[in-house]
Structure 1
Amino acid sequence: MIFLHEGLGSVSMWHDFPQLLCTELGYRGLVYSRPGYGQSTPRAHQEQWGMDFMHRQALEVLPALLDALYIDANHQPIWLFGHSDGGSIALLHAACFTEQMAGLIVLAPHIMVETLTIDSIKQAKVAYEQTNLRDKLGRHHNNPDSAFWGWNKRWLHPEFEAWSIEEEIKAIQCPVLAVQGVNDEYGTLEQIRGIARRVPQTQLLELADCRHSPHRDQPAALIQHVKTFTARQSG
């Protein structure tokens, strides 16, 4: 099971959740920080990510990582576990590499841009500039400016409002568990319900008393649901 972090995430920001989940499932897990995040190579100072930055992570970077680590997904199909932007990347990868996928678990993924998302990302920009958010992110990123501004400037670019993967995800063939908190501040439940309409084998999990990070807000419930879901697929 490969873990794909959120738009401001990294290996360390998962804390012990991947270990807890993989121990419960009896799976091997792979956790990595994408370029620009954590201890990975930071984004160059003037580099601006393209509108297709999630596509490139899904279709270029992740396949290259699997090759570098000698992971043959054709021989042993993989599970992807993605959160937020990582969930979108997981969906895109699964839509392209259909024969290599055992299944998907996506938490608070984005399949299109909503006003709520943009408003929250604008608030994050203010917090980064005016509060101690930069110091907090500095605990998890070698270069917090690389991580924050790469993500924030792309999402807030006017052209990004038209971004959508609603049509592309129709190609997904593997089982999907789409999870979202009812109180998610970065997206409405239409994000995962939109997946279910386009990918009929999707199972939805809408968690009460949960915001944008189900693995932090409801870890025990999430692990139990994932365990049941994966067991049903293997069974």
Structure 2
Amino acid sequence: MERRIIDVKGQKLYTEYHNSNKKRPTIVFLHDSLGSVELWRDLPAKLSEATQSNVLVYDRLGYGKSYPMLSHERAVNYMEQEADLLNEVLTQLNIDKVILFGHSDGGTIALITAAKYHERVEAVICEAGHIFVEDVTLKGVYDAWEAYKTTNLSERLKKYHGDKVEMLFKAWTETWTRDDYRSWNIEYLLKDIICPLLFIQGEYDEYGTLNQVEKTVSQVSGSSEKYIISGVGHTPHKESPELVFEKSVEFISKLF
């Protein structure tokens, strides 16, 4: 595994890249709003080994070991911007055949990237992604903000993000709860997704209803399937790791 900071359009991003098998695709892991490379635990390595695929994991700007954000203020289309930046990362690393595995915000970024850059995206595993804002999403964000103020959440996050925690937490919560973000919606992009899609979601996801799943799988142009895991919430890969792992291996193995 090669670990290094790369400079992409002036953004210095921490990456971990393993590409020992030149003939196999690369699984690219995209973390959530409070996530990082480290928080994926052993899933990237396990999935890479089980499917004989290469793997790339990176921290978005302001997260983990990447450099800090310049400001917590984000544009309404910030996830579209993240998809464009991901395309630049893939170009810089000469990665042309990818499977995107994204969780939450990362799942949304995966969908957008597959729609805009379908020539290099072979498949998508979207876990608890969003295509529009729901009331339950906002409630989840407000609940997280309350936990940040009243519990040791900020201290726990510092283990992974250091002194960048307050900035990234503001960037997430203030963006999603802004009035102008309420109408954010990427359904218009879904028809441009032509690769196979697996959408994984927990039955009790506290940030999104099953409408996110149904409206995604019904509007993409490629083959699609949903995998709803009973009894779990927003992070199936942590709450039911074996089920997510086994389903992901099955999905990838059918394609490659």
Q: Check if 1:24 corresponds to 2:76.
A: no
What one-letter code is carried by the residue in structure 1 that aligns with 2:131? I
CA distance in 2, matches of 1:97, 1:213: 26
Partner of 2:247: 225
- Structure with greater helix share of residues: 1
Q: Are positions 1:128 and 2:117 aligned together?
A: no
AA aligned to 1:215 is H
In 2, distance between residues paired with 1:37 and 1:229?
29
Gaps of 5+ in 1: none
After superposition, the C-alpha distances for 1:139-189 in whole angstroms (9 at most, x for unaligned) are 110211122111111111111110000111111000000000001111111
Does structure 1 residue 103 correspond to structure 2 residue 127? Answer: no
Partner of 2:172: 151
Alignment of 1:82-121 (within 5 A): 82-121=102-141
Structure 2 residue corresponding to 1:213, chosen from 232, 235, 253: 235
Structure 2 residue 78 is matched with structure 1 residue 53 = yes
Asked if 1:167 corresponds to 2:188, the answer is yes
Following the alignment from structure 2 to structure 1, what is the Cα–Cα distance between the partners of residues 113 and 198? Answer: 15
Asked whether the 8 Å contact 1:111–1:166 carries over to 2, the reply is: yes
What residue is the counterpart of 2:38 in the other structure?
A: 12
Deviation at 1:36, TM superposition (A): 1.1
TM-score (norm 2): 0.86
- Asked if 2 retains the 8 angstrom alpha-carbon contact of 1:88 and 1:109, the reply is yes
What is the deviation of 1:70?
2.6
Identity of aligned residues (%): 36
CA contact (8 A) 1:37 1:146 kept: no
- Structure 2 CA distance for aligned equivalents of residues 87 and 194 of structure 1: 14
Q: Which has the higher contact order (CA 8 A, sep 6+)?
A: 1
Count of paired positions = 228
What is the alpha-carbon distance in structure 1 between the residues aligned to residue 94 and residue 114 of structure 2? 19
Give 1:29-48 correspondences, 5 Å limit: 29-44=55-70, 46-48=71-73
Contact map agreement 1:92 1:168 (CA 8 A) in 2: yes
| Contact map agreement 2:72 2:167 (CA 8 A) in 1 | no
Question: CA separation in 2, counterparts of 1:167 and 1:15?
Answer: 34
1:47: Cα distance to partner? 4.2
Provide the rounded CA distance (Å) in 1 between the counterparts of 2:191 and 2:79.
Answer: 17
Is the 8 Å Cα contact of residues 136 and 207 (structure 2) preserved in structure 1?
yes
Distance 2:224 2:62 in 1: 31
Off by >6 Å, runs of 4+ in structure 1: none
C-alpha distance after superposition, 1:199-219 (max 9, x if no partner) = 151111000121101110111
> CA 1:84–1:47 in 2, change beyond 3 Å: closer, same or farther?
closer
* 1:69 counterpart = 2:93: yes
SS at structure 1 position matched to 2:252: helix
- Contact 2:87–2:117 (Cα < 8 Å) also in 1: no
Residues 43 and 150 in structure 1, CA contact (< 8 A), matched pair in contact too: no
Which of 209, 212, 234 matches 1:188?
209
Return the structure number with greater strand share: 2
